[in-house]
């Protein structure tokens, strides 16, 4: 077995629990915004053919690694990096005490590998310290918001990553991730204000959708808004003329 990392805390004992932060409060959505969000969902589902198949069937720890790699990185590049990292460390436990340079080399195709390599290692160490094992399966027994907050107590895990772990992994929990495409489209459509950043947009956009929606429907909502951002509502020169939402979009032909 490799020697303990000189700067890491003991991985054997669960760390005493910190006070859990409260869920970010989102103002209740107005009936108009709720109706608009549903109309957008209905139209985009017709275009992108809901239900959308899940693109991953990873355990939640693997999904956490995958999600951390994907930050500001193209899906193809982060997918390649994930495969290379998992090939190097088939058991994530072996990564906990590995030289950071080895992790960085495996993920060199992502953006900021020199930052992501130590961060991923530290985050997985934190999971092990807090749980006594490197597993996040227990999150499936918790209410969604509580599970998200548990993850977000870890430095470096934000709202998008926590939602992705719960939604995209085999846990298949009803959480709504918001990526940069999703965020841009929602902003242009007027679902969120121009000064709302990606992180704070999570509870606002979730509150506009029915509370009892299934994991699949929330996943569909994220995917169709993301796909719309990738295929029609481009960052530069959105294709408003062929957008199914151009009659209800305040930014149509102006973005």
Q: In this complex, which beta carbon is closest to ligand SF4, that of residue 177 or of residue 238? A: 238
Q: In this complex, which beta carbon is closest to ligand SF4, that of residue 53 or of residue 194? A: 194
Per-residue x/- marks for ligand SF4, 206-235, CB under 6 A?
--------------------------xx--
Judged by CB under 6 A, how many residues of this single chain contact ligand SF4? 15
Q: In this complex, which beta carbon is closest to ligand SF4, that of residue 18 or of residue 236? A: 236
Give the Cα separation of 40 and 29 in Å (integer).
Answer: 15
Contacts of 246 (CB under 8 A, 6+ apart): 240, 252, 253
Q: Is 238 in the site for ligand SF4 (CB under 6 A)?
A: yes
Per-residue x/- marks for ligand SF4, 148-187, CB under 6 A?
-------------------------------------x--
Contacts of 140 (CB under 8 A, 6+ apart): 60, 147, 171, 173
CB of 232 to ligand SF4, least distance (A): 5
**92, 114 in Cβ contact below 8 A?**
no
Residue of 19, 179, 189, 223 that binds ligand SF4 (CB under 6 A): 189
Give the Cα separation of 223 and 119 in Å (integer).
Answer: 27
Q: Is 203 in the site for ligand SF4 (CB under 6 A)?
A: no
Half-sphere exposure of 86 (CA within 13 A, CB side): 15
CB of 242 to ligand SF4, least distance (A): 8
Angle between helices 31-48 and 215-231 (to 10 degrees): 70
Residue of 183, 188, 202, 222 that binds ligand SF4 (CB under 6 A): 188
CB of 45 to ligand SF4, least distance (A): 15
Contacts of 111 (CB under 8 A, 6+ apart): 71, 72, 73, 77
Give Cα separations from 39 to 21, 46, 103, 244 (angstroms).
34, 11, 44, 11
Give the Cα separation of 204 and 147 in Å (integer).
Answer: 18
Q: In this complex, which beta carbon is closest to ligand SF4, that of residue 54 or of residue 234? A: 234
CB of 255 to ligand SF4, least distance (A): 4
One-character DSSP codes across 133-181:
SS--GGGGGS-HHHHHHHHHTSTT--HHHHHHHHHHSTT--S-----HH
Which part of the chain contacts ligand SF4 (CB under 6 A), choosing from 47-55, 75-83, 155-163, 237-245?
237-245
Q: Is 113 in the site for ligand SF4 (CB under 6 A)?
A: no
Q: What's the residue count for the chain?
A: 255
Residue of 33, 47, 134, 240 that binds ligand SF4 (CB under 6 A): 240
CB of 37 to ligand SF4, least distance (A): 13
Q: What does the binding site for ligand SF4 look like in residue numbers (CB under 6 A)?
A: 185, 188-189, 232-233, 238-240, 243, 245-246, 249, 251-252, 255
């Amino acid at each position: 077995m490799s020697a303990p990392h000189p700067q890491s805390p003991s991985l054997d004992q669960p760390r005493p629990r910190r006070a859990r932060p409260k869920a970010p409060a989102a103002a209740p959505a107005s009936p108009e915004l709720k109706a608009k969000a549903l109309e957008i969902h209905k139209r985009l589902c017709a275009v992108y053919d809901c239900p959308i198949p899940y693109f991953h069937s990873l355990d939640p720890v693997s999904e956490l690694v995958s999600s951390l790699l994907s930050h500001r990185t193209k899906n193809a590049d982060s997918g390649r990096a994930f495969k290379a990292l998992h090939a190097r460390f088939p058991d994530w436990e072996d990564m906990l005490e590995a030289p950071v340079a080895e992790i960085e080399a495996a993920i060199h195709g992502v953006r900021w590998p020199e930052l992501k390599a130590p961060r991923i290692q530290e985050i997985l160490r934190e999971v092990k310290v807090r749980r006594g094992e490197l597993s996040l399966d227990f999150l499936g027994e918790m209410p969604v918001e509580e599970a998200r907050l548990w993850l977000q107590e870890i430095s470096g895990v934000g709202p998008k990553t926590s939602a992705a772990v719960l939604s995209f992994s085999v846990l298949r929990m009803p959480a709504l991730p918001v990526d940069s495409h999703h965020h841009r489209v929602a902003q242009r459509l007027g679902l969120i204000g121009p000064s709302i950043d990606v992180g704070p947009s999570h509870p606002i956009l979730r509150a506009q959708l029915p509370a009892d929606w299934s994991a699949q429907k929330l996943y569909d909502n994220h995917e169709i808004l993301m796909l719309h951002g990738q295929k029609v509502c481009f960052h530069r020169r959105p294709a408003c003329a062929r957008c199914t939402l151009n009659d209800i979009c305040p930014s149509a032909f102006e973005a």
